[in-house]
Structure 1
Amino acid sequence: MAMGLLPLVLLTLSVFIYLVSKMSWKAGAFLNFLAGLFTILYVFTLKVGTFEKLDLFGLKVQFEWTNVSFYFSFVSLLVIVSVMLFSTKWLETQKYRASYNMFLLMVTAGSLGVFMAADLITLYVFWEIAVLSSLLIVPMEKKEARKAVVVYAVMSAVGTYAFLYGTFLAYQRYGTLNIHGIAQGMLNDTSIGFKMAVFLLLSAAGIAKSGIFPLHIWLRETYGLAPNAFSSVLSGQFSKLGNYIFLLVLSVIPSLKVFSEVTVYSGIPLPNYILIALGNVSIVIGTLMAIKQDDMKMLMAYSSVANGGYILIGIGTMDPLGFEGGMFHIFNHAVASAVIFMAFAAVIYRTKTQKISEMGGLIHKMPITFLAYLFSIISLAGIPPMSGFISKWMIYQALVRKGMFITAFLAFFGSIGSFLYVFRPLAGVFLGQLPGKYRDVKEAPAVMLTPMVLLVLISFFLGVWPFPILQTIEKIRVDLDVAPSFKISDPENWLVKGFAGSWNPVIVFGLFLVGFIVAYILYSLFPKPRKVDLLAPHREEGTPINIYTGGEFIYNPDLYHYNTKFYAGFERMYEKHPSWEKLLKMSGKLFHDAGEWIHSWFFEPSSSAYTFWVVVTLLLVFWVRW
């Protein structure tokens, strides 16, 4: 099969799967999974350097398969196929199952088309297919999501139309839509202002889709109100479309050479610095806002804002370590956030709530889900031996080498803050006392646990042996001429090399393993805490309570689980902070009120008002004519 036909085949297959799902949603979901599995296997057979042109109903589209295409396609498909497997059971809770199956495969097709596109119009067409398909999935579960879809659509439109305008400007100037042709045209162009305009317009699509400040406001409610399994796709895969645009404008179009005349500091051009500054703000806003969320899905939405900032900073430095760290963090965030959202979906599947303050103690009922969440937040927070540590370590190394100490401080602030916000669901949902209403809750079904466990194992393996993915990223770095001579991965000596030292993940894993064994031995030797029944009036017999109550009777144990206002002290520090969302809502209300006022002048319900404006209009016409 020709490479360019892959997204088209998937689009056609999505309609067939819709028809099958109308008869049997389980068969449709399973076919979806098989289609995704076939696709992820097929991309491994494609040869780098393949270029194809297709004529689709008069529209000439160009496809190219590069190391960049492979990397983004693999990351995206890994997440989507995992969610497809998860959905074969989870989908029983949904109403629009056939539509969900169809649109999820259309998102897959659109995303692959974006990564394979060799020209900006082809990229735009498949971008719109992916975006529109996701827009139709988001409101499927909750009516409240319809408002979120409007905000999502507006933010997407801002980025998309800016991208399209930048595309037309580039075509008018350089006479080509081919990405490499535009890159060459910008290299030869001497107008800094024009090149800057094209750069920022194209970047707007990445800013919107990655949830980077100031176009981040759609993430919270969209991720929070979307169907629970699809939130994994939005965070783990869909945001990577925006990351791809950043790679396009920063590296495929070589920003260091294109803007060499406007270098600001340490060899980094002004346009890159603008994006890095937005990444800094995104890290701070995402971290602070995540800490105060009681809705666990909205908490992770803000986490995605912060992690999008890390990726943008890493790629924006165009430093070999920063570039590889940013690219590796694309993978780490995709896998970790996908598992976390699937863990949340499993919890909601059993408890029917996503409020942290309404849960607790689920570690006893859903231990595998707890472990999947635990290892994923370890990776997301950048703690060894998970793979998330390596990508952040590389980004920090690059920032220190470049002398970007403010950015390094903000990035480190985000990492410290991530410990706080990922701990909130850990303590509030899984630890503490189990509310009586969840006494009969069971672990998630095996088919829902399987993709979570597999993704955690992949993240763990790449934390101990990251060289397969680092070598893939190094190929991309060489292709894009980002310090191609610098060698980072050294599998023969088990080293990830930096400028200020090296990291040996195998030895670090060995130390962690020894520490775990020693801790387990000590735990086994010493007495363990026990739970006893403290029967009191108004308490159900047989309900255990920790002996830390000191023998006192507790009449309502649910109230003693500390998961409400978890970080009240921190929240008070910035409870009156200026809000970008409030500003946009005020602006929206202002325009709405102005529109109502104008409407009242021209559309009064009385016939006399209509007569008045008809007469005025006729008089103006006669006056202008005569």
Structure 2
Amino acid sequence: MSAFLITLLLSSIVVYFLSKASWKVGALLNIAISLFALFYVFTVDVGTTEKIGNFFGQNLVLQWTNVSFYFSLVSLLVIISVMIFSLKWLESQKYKASFNMFLLMVTASSIGVFAAGDLLTLYIFWEIAVLSSLLIVPMGKKGSRKASVQYAVMSAVGTYMFIYGAFLLMQRYGTLRLPEISRHLISDQSMGFKLAIFLLLVAAGVAKSGIFPLHTWLRTAHGKAPDAFSAVLSGQLTKLGSYIFTVSVAVVPSLKIFSDLTVYSGVPLPNYILIILGNISIIIGTLMAIKQDDMKMLIALSSVANGGYILIGLSTVDPLGFEGGMFHILNHALASAVIFMAFAAVVYRTKTTKISEMGGLIHKMPVTFLVYLFSIISLAGIPPMSGFISKWMIYQALVRKGMFITAFVAFFGSIGSFLYVFRPLAGVFLGQLPKKYKDVKEAPFIMLTPMVLLVLLSLFLGVWPFPVLQRIEDIRMDLGITPSFKIVEIDKWLIKGFAGSWDPVVVFSLFMTGFIVAYILYSLFPRPKKVDLLAPHEKEGTPVNIYTGGEFIYNPDLYHFNTRFYAGFERMYEKHPSWEKVLNMFAKFFHDIGEWIHSWFFKPSPSVYTLWMIVTILLVFWVRW
């Protein structure tokens, strides 16, 4: 495994120099290497362990598990799709060689994170992944550099939490190996220490996943990053945080070590706190997404809400909830990647991300419209797409545990998600086509191909999810999340929960039957006739507009309803306090302190410099004695 990962990392340098000569050759090599990586993850035996070095007495270890395979597969599906999409999209970009290199580095380092057998190895690959993505974000549109700074700050918060937790573990147990840490924590009698480790590790995942309260970087980073890379940020890189959640469940088995703490609905207090954060993330992500006019920022905030679903599912430590959370990781990755690629295709043709500036693109970009439509159906959790199954499993777990408020919040998030994903549908694709877009064409075939394939995969998993669910069940068993009685049963055709069952094949058949019947009726009966709104009346010969009650329309382009789409909802909470404003207030406070200190240390006066030199020398001698 080590040779494989080192080869991937070194290949990124080769890709850079090849891309300097021909960016298409570099992009094709990226795809070939990533396809080889996809083949490789299927060939590695689960349980394979390899020592790759020693760092200050600590062994660096790679260990391939079912968790490693699952997250690597999700990542590679998204990244390979974006690489294929970029074969045409990169034509309009400035930093082609750098983009190719850093994207391959993200690929290699992400697999390294998932294959890490100790916290030090995980940290090394984690930092490579974050740094590589951090260098791609500023390649985007105006404001991307500021967005990359926000991304860096939030990533640093998570990194510091992770490092501090690793130092505490090293100091107490003398090891950073994941299985050994787990054994030590189970036998440790200090509840405060175990709680601190759990919260520190989870905080790193919260920051990377964009969960409240460390969610503010998602909107700007996704919104300002290069359009195609936004699909990687949402569909793949946020899943590094989900992996940390999963590792935390494995390394810090909360049901065992927190059994003496207060338990709510069968969930230990620390996990219950995470479920509350998931609830808040769903509410905030939903309400903030509804009011966005930038389509990329809108879907970025949907990642906050969907991260809440994943956190809730994993934190229940319930077999059905855990499997639902793991399945939602894949479903959200597929849906969000397609949506961001669809938006990148729209921007490729229209040069804007503003919903209020578009409309009627369904006539010019019908395939892009369809892949977006199917993806938002999955994102909103509507059958027959796979997104419904994962949310259904989470709902089942919450109801079984009697967590009805959380179940209601999750259901509210699903309704809200349909509201905010409908806004780009209506504002970008439906309505009237502005005259400036009359010559717009469909996205190139090479850009459509990965989107169509991912949509078909999501549809297939909505009909036949059993291979993935079986792999997730293996993960659950490996992590020791086992029920005392059979709560969920997955057989050849049926998913059985405690309060009901789901037959995806029957549901898909009903949907297809309804679609066919509707299409036949649509074909048989007369269709609406499209007329010019300003055309003369047939009989009178005078310009009368019956559709508008005889009123004249001087500029038909203004009559597409895509500005302040949900103004009624926005008025309900627009005056409520904003968490972003709170963070900006703290940022301004520390900025002012920095300016004040700067004014004292860097005044252009020799006397001030002399004073601080004397103070520094005295402090050094004082510390020495």
Question: For the superposition of Structure 1 and Structure 2, which TM-score range results when normalised by the shorter chain?
Answer: over 0.9
Distance 1:95 1:134 in 2: 17
> In structure 1, what residue type is equivalent to 2:310?
I
Alpha-carbon deviation of 1:623? Answer: 13
Contact 1:250/1:272 (CA < 8 Å) preserved in 2? no
Name 2:433's counterpart in structure 1: 434
Contact 2:545/2:552 (CA < 8 Å) preserved in 1? no
Alpha-carbon deviation of 1:546? Answer: 11
Answering whether residue 179 of structure 2 is matched by residue 180 of structure 1, we say yes
Distance 1:370 1:17 in 2: 33
> In structure 1, what residue type is equivalent to 2:16?
Y
Q: Judging changes above 3 Å, is the alpha-carbon distance between structure 1 residues 608 and 287 closer, same or farther for their aligned structure 2 residues?
A: same
Contact 1:237/1:334 (CA < 8 Å) preserved in 2? yes
Name 1:488's counterpart in structure 2: 488
Distance 1:232 1:478 in 2: 31
Name 1:19's counterpart in structure 2: 17
Alpha-carbon deviation of 1:8? Answer: 1.2
Contact 1:365/1:443 (CA < 8 Å) preserved in 2? yes
Alpha-carbon deviation of 1:55? Answer: 2.3
Distance 1:616 1:282 in 2: 48
Distance 1:618 1:343 in 2: 61
Answering whether residue 256 of structure 2 is matched by residue 257 of structure 1, we say yes
> In structure 2, what residue type is equivalent to 1:20?
L
Name 2:50's counterpart in structure 1: 52
Answering whether residue 289 of structure 2 is matched by residue 270 of structure 1, we say no
Answering whether residue 465 of structure 2 is matched by residue 466 of structure 1, we say yes
Distance 1:236 1:519 in 2: 34
Q: Judging changes above 3 Å, is the alpha-carbon distance between structure 1 residues 546 and 357 closer, same or farther for their aligned structure 2 residues?
A: farther
Alpha-carbon deviation of 1:589? Answer: 1.1
Deviates more, 1:129-138 or 1:166-175: 166-175
Q: Judging changes above 3 Å, is the alpha-carbon distance between structure 1 residues 23 and 577 closer, same or farther for their aligned structure 2 residues?
A: same
Deviates more, 1:496-505 or 1:522-531: 522-531
- Counterparts in 2 of 1:109-128, with a 5 A limit? 109-128=108-127
Q: Judging changes above 3 Å, is the alpha-carbon distance between structure 1 residues 618 and 219 closer, same or farther for their aligned structure 2 residues?
A: closer
Deviates more, 1:417-426 or 1:546-555: 546-555
Distance 1:254 1:611 in 2: 57
Contact 1:531/1:547 (CA < 8 Å) preserved in 2? no
> SS where residue 527 of structure 2 aligns?
coil
> In structure 2, what residue type is equivalent to 1:399?
L
Name 1:377's counterpart in structure 2: 376
Alpha-carbon deviation of 1:602? Answer: 4.2
Q: Judging changes above 3 Å, is the alpha-carbon distance between structure 1 residues 511 and 536 closer, same or farther for their aligned structure 2 residues?
A: closer
Alpha-carbon deviation of 1:253? Answer: 3.0
> SS where residue 522 of structure 2 aligns?
helix
- Counterparts in 2 of 1:399-438, with a 5 A limit? 399-438=398-437
Deviation string 1:538-571 (CA, Å, 9 cap, x unpaired) is xxxxxxx998445643211111000001011111
> SS where residue 53 of structure 1 aligns?
strand
> SS where residue 55 of structure 1 aligns?
strand
Distance 2:545 2:299 in 1: 31
Alpha-carbon deviation of 1:144? Answer: 1.3
Alpha-carbon deviation of 1:477? Answer: 1.1
> In structure 2, what residue type is equivalent to 1:179?
L
Contact 2:534/2:545 (CA < 8 Å) preserved in 1? no
> In structure 2, what residue type is equivalent to 1:447?
I
Deviates more, 1:224-233 or 1:197-206: 197-206
Alpha-carbon deviation of 1:439? Answer: 0.3
Q: Judging changes above 3 Å, is the alpha-carbon distance between structure 1 residues 150 and 547 closer, same or farther for their aligned structure 2 residues?
A: farther
Name 2:35's counterpart in structure 1: 37
TM-score, length basis structure 2: 0.94
> SS where residue 260 of structure 1 aligns?
coil
Distance 2:219 2:583 in 1: 15
Deviation string 1:428-454 (CA, Å, 9 cap, x unpaired) is 000000000000000000000000000
Distance 2:376 2:126 in 1: 30
Contact 2:487/2:498 (CA < 8 Å) preserved in 1? no
Deviates more, 1:245-254 or 1:310-319: 245-254
> SS where residue 475 of structure 1 aligns?
helix
> SS where residue 482 of structure 1 aligns?
coil
> In structure 1, what residue type is equivalent to 2:333?
A
Identity level (%): 75
Distance 2:4 2:622 in 1: 63
Deviation string 1:53-96 (CA, Å, 9 cap, x unpaired) is 11279884211111111100000100000001001110111101
> In structure 1, what residue type is equivalent to 2:595?
E
> In structure 2, what residue type is equivalent to 1:521?
I
Contact 2:15/2:26 (CA < 8 Å) preserved in 1? yes
Distance 2:152 2:401 in 1: 38
Deviation string 1:495-540 (CA, Å, 9 cap, x unpaired) is 1110001001111111111111121122112211121224479xxx
Name 1:219's counterpart in structure 2: 218
Contact 2:364/2:440 (CA < 8 Å) preserved in 1? yes
Distance 2:469 2:196 in 1: 33
Distance 1:528 1:621 in 2: 87
> In structure 1, what residue type is equivalent to 2:7?
V
Structure 2: tracts of 5 or more residues without a match? 537-543
Alpha-carbon deviation of 1:366? Answer: 0.3
Distance 2:179 2:545 in 1: 65
Deviation string 1:576-604 (CA, Å, 9 cap, x unpaired) is 11111111111111222222233334443
Contact 1:530/1:546 (CA < 8 Å) preserved in 2? no
Contact 1:380/1:388 (CA < 8 Å) preserved in 2? yes
Q: Judging changes above 3 Å, is the alpha-carbon distance between structure 1 residues 209 and 621 closer, same or farther for their aligned structure 2 residues?
A: closer
Distance 2:28 2:313 in 1: 38
> SS where residue 384 of structure 1 aligns?
coil
Distance 2:139 2:573 in 1: 35
Deviation string 1:243-270 (CA, Å, 9 cap, x unpaired) is 0000111234321112111142122111
> SS where residue 281 of structure 1 aligns?
helix
> In structure 1, what residue type is equivalent to 2:135?
L
Alpha-carbon deviation of 1:205? Answer: 1.0
Distance 1:148 1:98 in 2: 22
Alpha-carbon deviation of 1:41? Answer: 1.4
The size of the alignment, in residue pairs, is 615
Name 1:196's counterpart in structure 2: 195
Contact 1:180/1:253 (CA < 8 Å) preserved in 2? no
Deviates more, 1:39-48 or 1:549-558: 549-558
Alpha-carbon deviation of 1:605? Answer: 3.8
Q: Judging changes above 3 Å, is the alpha-carbon distance between structure 1 residues 194 and 15 closer, same or farther for their aligned structure 2 residues?
A: same
Contact 1:212/1:279 (CA < 8 Å) preserved in 2? yes
> SS where residue 533 of structure 1 aligns?
coil
CA-atom RMSD in angstroms: 2.3
Answering whether residue 512 of structure 2 is matched by residue 513 of structure 1, we say yes
Structure 1: tracts of 5 or more residues without a match? 538-544
Name 1:542's counterpart in structure 2: none
> SS where residue 61 of structure 1 aligns?
strand
- Counterparts in 2 of 1:316-335, with a 5 A limit? 316-335=315-334
Q: Judging changes above 3 Å, is the alpha-carbon distance between structure 1 residues 253 and 4 closer, same or farther for their aligned structure 2 residues?
A: farther
Deviation string 1:88-115 (CA, Å, 9 cap, x unpaired) is 1101111010000000000001100000
Contact 1:138/1:227 (CA < 8 Å) preserved in 2? yes
TM-score, length basis structure 1: 0.94
Q: Judging changes above 3 Å, is the alpha-carbon distance between structure 1 residues 44 and 570 closer, same or farther for their aligned structure 2 residues?
A: same
Distance 1:117 1:611 in 2: 51
